[in-house]
Amino acid sequence: MGYHEHKNLSPVNIKAGILIISDTRSMSSDESGKLICRLLEENGHQLAGFNLIKNEGESIINAINAFTSDPQLQAVIASGGTGLSKRDITIETVSPLFEKKMEGFGELFRSLSYQEIGTGCIMSRAQAGVYCGKIVICLPGSLKAVKLAMEKIILPELGHMVREATR
């Protein structure tokens, strides 16, 4: 089977957990997480939960493990902590957990981001992979970055990613 045949066999609706990683945002001020939730729901996906945590390694691992321990959950979408500052540790924390990395996710995100913001895209460390048989996606915290990733990559491919990760 080719790409289109595989994609056609993919689940249309999945169950996802949303994880916002930030030292500065609160539930009321976090727009990126609200956008992820809204776009998932508008596209028929189910939310398994929403968690906003500080940019601390142990908290990140605990939150991802809590989500991935749910046998019904199929994906975790995390936003924040992917930049270059000393406090941005999402990638260093999550990447070692991956059983498989989806290198193309970050490459495509940066390519699309380049079209919008230019060379500043080199500082994005967006990444995705498979952990415990579940899709885990790490996005920047920026609202525009989240919108770009959700609309151009995640929503069109989420079911397909889940199907492949669970085969």
Domain count across the chain: 1
For each of the chain's 167 residues, which pLDDT tens digit applies? 788 887 888 999 999 999 999 998 888 889 999 999 999 999 999 999 999 999 999 999 999 999 999 999 999 999 999 999 999 999 999 999 999 999 999 999 999 999 999 999 999 999 999 999 999 999 999 999 999 999 999 999 999 999 999 99
The whole-model pTM stands at 0.96
Structural domain for 155, as ranges: 3-165
CATH number, domain with residue 67: 3.40.980.10
Q: 86: which DSSP letter?
A: T
pLDDT at 5: 86
Give the H/E segment covering residue 3: helix 3-8
8 Å CB contact between 81 and 90:
yes
